[in-house]
């Protein structure tokens, strides 16, 4: 069953960590919307999601909080509690949508098969 999709634009994996706030989610959404990572006419990364009119698929991904410093089994204790994680995830997506891009989401906490066609070598980690 298809939950969300986007055409040209961004796949955004969101992980809320303990201590994260709605203000931080808002700041990250604004940063994502304005981040100049799409090619302009000269082929330089100089256009934002807002400039291109692209969309965004926002997917919750608590496993980005994986702590692999010891042993062979990752720990996720630094991830936000699921209730807060879902609130911040939804707030991020709503804030991004309010800035202009068409935003679709995955299903929080679900086991999803996510497909990506990556057009270019750009993967960026953002945090406050």
Burial class (CB in 10 A: 0-12, 13-18, 19+), 106: buried
Q: Which two tokens stand for residue 39?
A: 């090619």
Catalytic positions, please?
Answer: 61-63
Report which of 98, 70, 97 is spatially closest to residue 12, judged by C-alpha positions. 97
Strands 103-105 and 55-60: parallel
């Amino acid at each position: 069953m298809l939950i969300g999709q986007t055409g040209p634009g961004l796949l955004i994996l969101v992980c809320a960590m303990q201590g994260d706030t709605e203000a931080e989610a808002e700041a990250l959404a604004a940063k994502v919307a304005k981040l100049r990572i799409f090619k302009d006419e000269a082929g330089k990364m100089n256009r934002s999601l807002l400039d291109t009119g692209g969309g965004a698929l926002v997917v919750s991904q608590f496993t980005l909080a994986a702590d692999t410093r010891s042993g062979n089994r990752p720990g996720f204790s630094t991830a936000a509690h699921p209730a807060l994680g879902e609130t911040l995830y939804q707030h991020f997506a709503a804030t991004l949508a309010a800035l202009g891009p068409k935003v679709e989401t995955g299903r929080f906490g679900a086991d999803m098969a996510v497909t990506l066609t990556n057009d270019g070598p750009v993967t960026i980690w953002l945090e406050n």
